[in-house]
A and B are shown apart, each in its own frame.
Chain A
Amino acid sequence: MSHATGASLRMRVWRHRHFYLFISPFFLLFAVFGLYPLLFSFYLAFTKWDSLTPIEWVGLGNFATMLHDEVLVTSLWNTFAIGCMYVPPMLIGAFLFAVMLNASWLRFRAFFRAAFFLPVVTPMVVVAIVFLLLYGQETGLLNYLIGLFGMDPAPWLVSERWSKPSIAILLVWRWTGYNMVLMLAGLQGISNEYYEAARMDGANAWQRMWHITMPLMRPIFVFCAIMSLIGTVYMFDEVFVLTQGGPGTSSTNFGLYLFNVSFTDFKFGYASCMAYTVAFFVFIASLLILRLRKTSTE
């Protein structure tokens, strides 16, 4: 029987050879730029290497170093803080914008959509440079406006306490449109029948929102929340250009710290170790959040 199956398997593979041919470019590229790097990175996590001198095996040394690395802890804390500062307002804003744009009677929808989405497509460098101007200590527009109200200028980019909120504001501006589009698609996916049925039952707009829209949108909310939080961990351009992680290390998130360890200090072994560890924890955290969503869906 096995002989027959073996022959038939080979025959079937040969018959469908084009399938394997067509998917092979992907797998080939993935092998070179995905799988091999993944394995090599894992190996590097146990070594000390700066790419210019020979590789040195250090076993669990990098993991031990991670435990005492104050800057790593700071960067993770910063990531969390920035996430807390920007994700809730952004998601709320995105939802409100989506609700408004979803109104069937609305005209110029494309204009509003474009206005909110444009920040997403602009090169981050440009965004950061403009915000550098706006956040200027002496000559920035924001401080000027604040001054008009009689208040003291805010040390947007020069104070350790203000650097994170400054980044958070930038992030809200940049990503609200993106999440708005996702939520809009979600809203448009809700069948009108639900609303009709509710209207006939006498529910008002607020009740319809609370009992139909919100629950049905929950998967989208969760998705947006997870994507945003993961994004905060690994984001690079915003921090790199606006504050370079400073002043001090006050706005260094994990993405920037990883880049610094990798390509400024050139500690490839330690960087790989950190990357794997944090990726692992992010993965676990995502699973937990998804779990939460599953258990609370009736």
Chain B
Amino acid sequence: MCRWALWMAVVAAFGAAAEPLSDTPTPDPALVRGDLQVWAWNIAAGSLNKLVPGFNEVFPNCRVNVHMSGANLQSRFLLSLSAGVGAPDISQLQIREAPRYSITGKLADLTDVAKKYETMFPASFWQDCVYQGRIYAIPWDMGPCAVFYKRPLFDRYGIHPEAIETWDDYIAAGKELVARSHGKTRMLCLATGSLGDFFELLAQQNNAQIFDAQGRVAINSPEMLDVFMLLKKMFESGIGANIAAWGPEFMASLKADSVATYPTAAWFGGTIRDYAPDTSGSWGVFRLPAFCPGGLRTSNLGGSVLVIPDQGTQKYAAWKYIEYALCTPAPQIEQYRSFELFPALTTTHGDPFFDEDVPFFGGQKVRRLFSMDIEKIPPMVRTTDWMEAMRYISQALSKWATGGLEDPAVLLGRLEDKLSRRLNRAIAP
């Protein structure tokens, strides 16, 4: 009996697969029925769950079940997409992976219903949600970057964050910090084995692309050379602590004096709150140092999207939930308030919530700080094998950092070659 039902579902899904979600005039919300399954992880899942009551006020006949299933999420999602059965109605994906899934044709085409929201999201983000002009994902949260710092340490060693405007300033301040603390305190965590995130942050900040618009390997560029030279300088200056990101030592450093700053994304605030709630009030944020005076002082790291697998049978209801959670300001602000998920929805950024003093950061208006210059963040061209390329780059960075930091120009030449070979892509001229 259950197999029969499954066959029906498969056939129905097949039938529904061809059409993009259409923007018919919204029927009576009470008529929108559904029993939606949503896959998300950790904080994000909790956040989505919190929004369900509000959603049900508008759409009372729609049930939403958010699964925080951690085990092998990617594997199970891909298996279900591939097999055409078993995928949830809505799934969370990292923004970096979105292009990989958009190309498959297994995600619902949201162009007709979501086009009107295009201008409400940053271009850099929206780009990864679109494939060949069709929209397949909706941006959820993003990770605008700045530097979290510990006020007590800066005060103790006389470092002034306002004076740090460029990365050179940052390195100089770092050297002073290390000198004055006699090596006890380092400026940041710079482990040779976990450079991937920091690299991505810097690359996007400086518009150093890995691929060009035609998907060719474009890593050997002056902008990328800047990024590598900066990393080389940082390593050579001795301001970094060799603490692997997200390891136990790293988490412990949040409460200790070993590391003074964390250049990373807004969502890191949530991590600090979770792990070191007692340090409330002693943190501050200053803008990301620029590559050169007057340059861009922010970047993006991380962020997620929500997608609707095409095999679902309740796509309209699913869309209504996504629209509610991601495209309307109030729920997005709620998620920022409760779970530190920085909304990608730019229309929220004018909300007074962003101008509040945040006690955790010593009363600083950090939300306003994070929201500055978001529209100026250069989009990062992401291809479907982005994650694989990043893996090769991380491995190469690790070898480079532990192997004596050879001339970056040489390294870039080799990387270009390797990426081209492994990913079967031409090299951009």
Which residue numbers of A lie inside 8 Å of B, CB to CB?
A: 48, 50-53, 56, 58, 61, 64-65, 70, 263-266
Contact = CB atoms under 8 A, between A and B. Distances in A.
Contact of A52 (B72, B82, B395, B424): B82
Interface string B380-392: 0000100010000
A65 B103 CA distance: 24
Interface stretch (B73-81, B141-149, B205-213): B73-81
A266 B82 contact: yes
25 contacts: A48-B424, A50-B104, A51-B82, A52-B78, A52-B81, A52-B82, A52-B101, A52-B103, A52-B104, A52-B105, A52-B106, A53-B103, A53-B104, A53-B384, A56-B424, A58-B424, A61-B424, A65-B422, A70-B395, A263-B78, A263-B79, A264-B72, A264-B74, A264-B78, A266-B82
Contacts of B424: 48, 56, 58, 61
B319 to A, nearest CB: 22
Nearest to A260: B75
A248 to B, nearest CB: 10
Q: What 7 A-B pairs come out closest when comparing CB atoms?
A: A52-B104, A264-B75, A51-B82, A266-B78, A263-B75, A53-B104, A53-B103
Interface residues of B, number: 18
Contacts of A53: 103-104, 384
Nearest to A61: B424
Contacts of B82: 51-52, 266
A78 B329 CA distance: 51
A65 B395 CA distance: 15
B88 to A, nearest CB: 17
A58 B422 CA distance: 11
Contacts of A64: 421
B314 to A, nearest CB: 22
A270 B72 CA distance: 20
A263 B82 CA distance: 10
Interface of B: 72, 74-75, 78-79, 81-82, 101, 103-106, 384, 388, 395, 421-422, 424
Contacts of A266: 78, 82
Give the interface centre of A61, A65, A70, A265 by most chain B CB atoms within 10 Å: A265
A264 B97 CA distance: 13
Contacts of B106: 52
Contacts of A70: 395
Contacts of B104: 50, 52-53
Contacts of B395: 70
Nearest to A263: B75
Nearest to B422: A65
Nearest to B421: A64
A113 to B, nearest CB: 36
Contacts of B422: 65
Contacts of B74: 264
Contacts of A58: 424
B136 to A, nearest CB: 13
Nearest to B101: A52
Contacts of A65: 422
A61 B105 CA distance: 26
Contacts of A61: 424
A177 B75 CA distance: 34
A239 B410 CA distance: 40
A70 B82 CA distance: 28
Given A52-B78, A263-B75, A263-B79, 14 more contacts: A48-B424, A50-B104, A51-B82, A52-B101, A52-B103, A52-B105, A53-B103, A53-B104, A56-B424, A61-B424, A263-B78, A264-B74, A264-B75, A266-B78
Nearest to B106: A52
A163 B79 CA distance: 29
A65 B75 CA distance: 22
Nearest to B81: A52
Contacts of B72: 264
A265 B104 CA distance: 14
A64 B424 CA distance: 12
B344 to A, nearest CB: 26
A191 B75 CA distance: 53
A271 B227 CA distance: 34
Nearest to A262: B75
A70 B103 CA distance: 29
A19 B162 CA distance: 89
Contacts of B79: 263
A289 B395 CA distance: 37
Nearest to A267: B388
A58 B105 CA distance: 23
A180 B72 CA distance: 36
A44 B56 CA distance: 48
Contacts of A264: 72, 74-75, 78
B311 to A, nearest CB: 12
B94 to A, nearest CB: 15
A51 B395 CA distance: 27
A61 B420 CA distance: 12
Nearest to A52: B104
A160 B59 CA distance: 51
B375 to A, nearest CB: 32
A109 B48 CA distance: 59
A15 to B, nearest CB: 42
A266 B103 CA distance: 14
A263 to B, nearest CB: 5
B84 to A, nearest CB: 11
A56 B101 CA distance: 17
A265 B424 CA distance: 17
B21 to A, nearest CB: 20
A265 B421 CA distance: 19
Nearest to A248: B193
A135 B72 CA distance: 22
Contacts of A56: 424
A53 B106 CA distance: 10
Give the interface centre of B75, B81, B103, B106 by most chain A CB atoms within 10 Å: B75
Contacts of B421: 64
Nearest to B71: A244
Contacts of A52: 78, 81-82, 101, 103-106
Nearest to A70: B395
A51 B422 CA distance: 19
A113 B344 CA distance: 63
A264 B388 CA distance: 13
Nearest to B105: A52
A263 B76 CA distance: 8
A71 to B, nearest CB: 10
